[in-house]
């Protein structure tokens, strides 16, 4: 069948239109994807974590790609330290330091030994094969080995020899510690070694005893002297010197070893831990009656250094028998010893001796050749400040210790005072209860009781029953005519009044009561009672006022705020706030944070009864008023408030600051002169260049679709409506993208 040209064109056209439709759909999909990408690019901002990830991911990858260093395993160096024999003072000693690989693998790297010598050892030289850098700084020695070939397992580096000088300060022993370091050593537990070293020396300790402790003239006494070598070394050439003091006659000596002659004991050798003893016999000479004779060894020495010289001497004493008078002086009642009491002793021949008691209250009178004491009747008297003297008569026995204790009596006034209240208000009346009790053993005579009142208290009356005197203002004095017996008391009450106005700094009121007596009294610590009463202090009432707004027109409201506070240290009662307002306003409402509020509409007066206002308390009062139509012209309305309160029996009043507002009789408030605020759109992120490209692309596609639709329509073909719809759709999308781009273009 023959095909007509018209039909051929129609077939070709249909194929072309099909392909155009396919291309248009693809273009539309691309355009929609581009639009979506554009919106995401305009609204999404990269986060800090994303940026950080982008920055560090390459570095992480690079680090992961690098080979990890191999960790050495089982590389363990240890150090040992030793020496030979004991070190001699004044000579040199040598330490040997050895580093060994006790691990299972070879150890590479530099090995360093450090040794800080203890006191008494001074480094002289350190050396060893391969140890090329040995240095000495003060007491510190440091040596390094390059270990270039590495140290195999089980092998040791050459030994380091450390030579030291030995001084007396090292005795009796020292401990030297050396340490090693190596970068590849995996076990530091065995990197130090200590070496205890004995220093040749001896500690000679001397002890001495005497028997008997009391002996008569020309009677024998025996001394025992003992030397012990506490080591650490055996010693030779031990010599001790013991010279008898004056008043003794040497009778003989017997050493356990060695020889004794003219006060010198040549002991000889003495092993570590061994002892030797010496017995010396002597007798006190005539005319040593009552003397205490002390014997002291003058020292011990040997061929070795003695590192503990504090025990090289020993001392003992004995007393030559005589007549003595001894005793203890105590206080009656407490039995406590009286220190520094004066004791007077009179013997049967009326010889008088004086002494003072010691810290333990004891006294001693000892017969000597220059101070003889006759046996028979005697008297001893003790006295001390605050005590009544005591005298005892008795009989003294010759040649023995005669004991006579003395007890001294004393009176002891204990004063107590207490108020009926611990916290008071100004103007309040206080009742004190007072008691003076004699807790001593002697009656208290001529007692004087004094109460010193502070300026904040005024005396009213008391119940003592005797007349009082007032030598100076505020000082009340009572003088009872009878003595106060032991365990007796004076008890009475006194009434005083607190001042109505206390200084603001007054936090307490202190009152003192004191009692004295003419009788000896040792303990004066309880003769005064000081009583403190907490004062309520002084209030400080404040009142301030404010108003809002400052311009009010007719029929509008204004709000007054009144703030009342107490910044003082005392509370007030009956606090009342009063505020009378202008006739140009009417009271609408009144509120208060404490108390009750009332308003009188006729007098335009507000009254707030707060009542009790504590220290640091704040009360806020709010009053709302409305401007009435009384005013015909603009004017200023002013107002103040006041507060009255009661404190210490007196009423005080405070007035607030004056506040005002401008009353505008017109219905319109004057302009402020300021421009009206302008409205602005919120700044949003703009699509920018991607939006412009999208709009152009969509516009071109829309024009192509519309143009092709017109071409097809002129050809007389059907299906042009689809192209017109697609063209319109592309153009609308382009216009929409252009609306997003316009704010960006107009900037």
Give the Cβ contact number of residue 441 at 10 Å.
Answer: 18
pLDDT at 346 (0 to 100): 97
pLDDT at 610 (0 to 100): 95
Q: Highest mean pLDDT range out of 129-133, 538-542, 645-649?
A: 129-133
pLDDT at 671 (0 to 100): 41
Three-class secondary structure of residue 698 per DSSP: helix
Q: pLDDT tens digits for 576-620?
A: 999 999 999 999 999 999 999 999 999 999 999 999 999 899 999
Residue with the two structure tokens 């005589």: 322
Whether the pLDDT of residue 307 is over 60: the answer is yes
Higher pLDDT, residue 475 or 723: 475
Q: Minimum mean pLDDT among 34-38, 221-225, 512-516: which range?
A: 34-38
CB 382 within 8 A of CB 408: yes
Give the Cβ contact number of residue 129 at 10 Å.
Answer: 10
Q: pLDDT tens digits for 139-160?
A: 999 999 999 999 999 999 999 9
b or e along 463-492 (b: 16 or more beta carbons within 10 Å of the residue's beta carbon)? Answer: ebeeebeeeeeeebebebeebbebeeebeb
Start-to-end CA distance of the chain, whole Å, equals 69
CB 419 within 8 A of CB 531: yes
Mean pLDDT of 440-445: 94
Whether the pLDDT of residue 8 is over 50: the answer is no
Higher pLDDT, residue 730 or 388: 388
pLDDT at 561 (0 to 100): 97
pLDDT at 668 (0 to 100): 45
Residues in the chain: 747
Whether the pLDDT of residue 410 is over 60: the answer is yes
Confidence of residue 170 (pLDDT cuts 50, 70, 90): very high
* Closest among 572, 664, 677, 669 to 627, alpha carbons compared: 664
Confidence of residue 524 (pLDDT cuts 50, 70, 90): very high
pLDDT at 73 (0 to 100): 46
Q: pLDDT tens digits for 286-297?
A: 889 889 999 999
Name the region of 692 (left: φ>0; alpha: ψ -120 to 50; beta: rest): alpha
Average confidence score pLDDT of the chain: 85
Q: Minimum mean pLDDT among 54-68, 212-226, 348-362: which range?
A: 54-68
Cα(469)–Cα(478) distance, integer angstroms = 7
Confidence of residue 731 (pLDDT cuts 50, 70, 90): confident
Three-class secondary structure of residue 40 per DSSP: helix
pLDDT at 659 (0 to 100): 96
* Closest among 649, 657, 653, 647 to 504, alpha carbons compared: 647
Whether the pLDDT of residue 744 is over 70: the answer is no
Whether the pLDDT of residue 298 is over 90: the answer is no
Cα(685)–Cα(172) distance, integer angstroms = 88
pLDDT at 498 (0 to 100): 85
Mean pLDDT of 63-89: 72
Three-class secondary structure of residue 713 per DSSP: helix
Confidence of residue 568 (pLDDT cuts 50, 70, 90): confident
41-48: long-range contacts at Cβ-Cβ below 8 A with a sequence spacing of 24 or more?
41/687, 41/690, 42/685, 42/686, 42/687, 42/688, 42/690, 42/691, 42/740, 43/685
Cα(145)–Cα(130) distance, integer angstroms = 6
CB neighbours of 568 closer than 8 A, spacing ≥ 6?
504, 537, 538, 539, 540, 541, 615
pLDDT at 646 (0 to 100): 86
Whether the pLDDT of residue 48 is over 50: the answer is no
Eight-state DSSP code of residue 275 = E
Cα(161)–Cα(128) distance, integer angstroms = 6
Higher pLDDT, residue 435 or 676: 435
pLDDT at 569 (0 to 100): 74
pLDDT at 110 (0 to 100): 94
pLDDT at 701 (0 to 100): 74
Cα(629)–Cα(140) distance, integer angstroms = 103
pLDDT at 88 (0 to 100): 92
627: exposed, middle or buried (C-beta count within 10 Å: 0-12, 13-18, 19+)? buried
Q: pLDDT tens digits for 485-504?
A: 999 999 999 999 988 766 65
**If you compute the radius of gyration of the chain from its CA atoms, what whole number of angstroms results?**
58
Whether the pLDDT of residue 477 is over 80: the answer is yes
Q: Strand 275-284's sheet: what is its strand order?
A: 204-211, 221-229, 275-284, 248-255
Whether the pLDDT of residue 203 is over 50: the answer is yes
Give the Cβ contact number of residue 377 at 10 Å.
Answer: 12
Confidence of residue 537 (pLDDT cuts 50, 70, 90): low
């Amino acid at each position: 069948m023959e095909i007509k040209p018209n039909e051929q064109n129609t077939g070709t056209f249909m194929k072309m239109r099909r392909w155009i439709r396919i291309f248009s759909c693809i273009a539309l999909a691309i355009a929609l994807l581009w639009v979506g990408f554009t919106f995401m690019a305009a609204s999404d901002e990269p986060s800090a974590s994303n940026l950080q990830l982008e920055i560090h991911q390459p570095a992480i990858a690079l680090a992961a790609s690098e080979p990890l260093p191999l960790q050495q395993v089982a590389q363990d160096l240890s150090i040992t330290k030793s020496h030979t024999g004991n070190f001699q003072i004044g000579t040199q000693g040598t330490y040997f330091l050895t580093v060994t690989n006790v691990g299972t693998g070879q150890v590479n790297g530099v090995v360093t030994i450090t040794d800080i010598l203890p006191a008494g050892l001074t480094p002289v030289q350190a050396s060893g094969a391969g140890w090329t850098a040995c240095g000495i700084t003060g007491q510190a020695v440091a040596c390094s080995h390059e270990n270039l070939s590495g140290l195999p397992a089980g092998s040791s580096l050459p030994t380091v020899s450390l030579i030291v000088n030995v001084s007396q300060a090292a005795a009796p022993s020292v401990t030297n510690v050396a340490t090693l370091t190596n970068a590849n050593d995996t076990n530091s537990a065995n990197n130090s070694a200590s070496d205890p070293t004995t220093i040749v020396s001896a500690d000679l300790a001397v002890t001495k005893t005497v028997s008997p402790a009391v002996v008569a003239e020309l009677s024998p006494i025996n001394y025992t002297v003992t030397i012990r070598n506490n080591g650490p070394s055996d010693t030779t050439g031990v010599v001790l010197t013991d010279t008898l003091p004056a008043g003794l006659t040497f009778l003989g000596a017997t050493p356990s070893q060695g020889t004794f002659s003219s006060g010198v004991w040549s002991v000889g050798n003495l092993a570590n831990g061994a002892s030797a003893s010496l017995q010396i016999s002597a007798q006190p000479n005539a005319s040593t009656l009552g003397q205490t004779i002390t014997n002291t060894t003058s020292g011990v020495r040997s061929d070795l250094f003695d590192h503990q010289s504090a025990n090289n001497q020993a001392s003992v004493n004995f007393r030559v028998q005589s007549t003595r008078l001894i005793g203890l002086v105590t206080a009656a009642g407490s039995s406590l010893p009286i220190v520094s009491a004066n004791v007077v002793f009179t013997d049967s021949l009326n010889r008088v001796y004086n002494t003072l008691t010691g810290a333990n209250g004891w006294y001693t009178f000892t017969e000597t050749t220059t101070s003889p004491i006759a046996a028979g009747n005697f008297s001893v008297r003790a006295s001390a400040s605050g005590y009544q003297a005591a005298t005892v008569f008795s009989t003294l026995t010759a040649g023995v210790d005669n004991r006579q204790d003395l007890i001294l009596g004393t009176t002891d006034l204990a004063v107590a005072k207490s108020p009926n209240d611990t916290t008071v208000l100004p103007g309040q009346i206080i009742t004190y209860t007072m008691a003076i009790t004699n807790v001593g053993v002697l009656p208290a005579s001529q007692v004087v009781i004094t109460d010193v009142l502070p300026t904040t208290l005024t005396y009213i009356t008391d119940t003592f029953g005797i007349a009082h005197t007032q030598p100076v203002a505020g000082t009340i004095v009572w003088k009872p005519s009878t003595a106060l017996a032991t365990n007796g008391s004076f008890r009475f009450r006194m009434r005083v009044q607190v001042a109505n106005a206390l200084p603001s700094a007054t936090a307490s009121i202190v009152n003192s009561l004191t009692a004295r007596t003419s009788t000896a009294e040792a303990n004066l610590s309880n003769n005064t009672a000081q009583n403190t009463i907490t004062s309520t202090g002084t209030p400080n009432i404040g009142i301030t006022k404010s108003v809002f707004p400052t311009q009010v027109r007719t029929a509008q409201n204004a709000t007054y705020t009144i703030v009342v506070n107490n910044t003082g240290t005392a509370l007030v009662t009956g606090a009342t706030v009063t505020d009378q307002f202008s006739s140009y306003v009417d009271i609408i409402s009144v509120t208060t944070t404490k108390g009750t509020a009332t308003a009188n509409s006729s007098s335009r007066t507000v009254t707030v009864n707060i009542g009790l206002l504590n220290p640091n308390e704040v009360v806020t009062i709010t009053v709302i008023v409305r401007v009435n139509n009384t005013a015909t012209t603009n004017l200023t309305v002013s107002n103040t408030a006041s507060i009255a309160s009661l404190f210490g029996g007196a009423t005080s009043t405070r007035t607030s600051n004056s506040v005002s507002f401008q009353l505008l009789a017109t219905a319109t408030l004057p302009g402020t002169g300021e421009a009206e605020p302008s409205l602005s759109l919120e700044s949003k992120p703009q699509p920018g260049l991607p939006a412009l490209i999208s709009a152009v692309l969509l516009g071109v596609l829309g024009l192509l679709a519309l143009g092709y639709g017109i071409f097809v329509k002129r050809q007389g073909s059907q299906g042009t409506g689809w192209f017109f719809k697609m063209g319109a759709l592309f153009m609308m999308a382009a216009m929409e993208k252009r609306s997003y781009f316009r704010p960006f273009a107009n900037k």
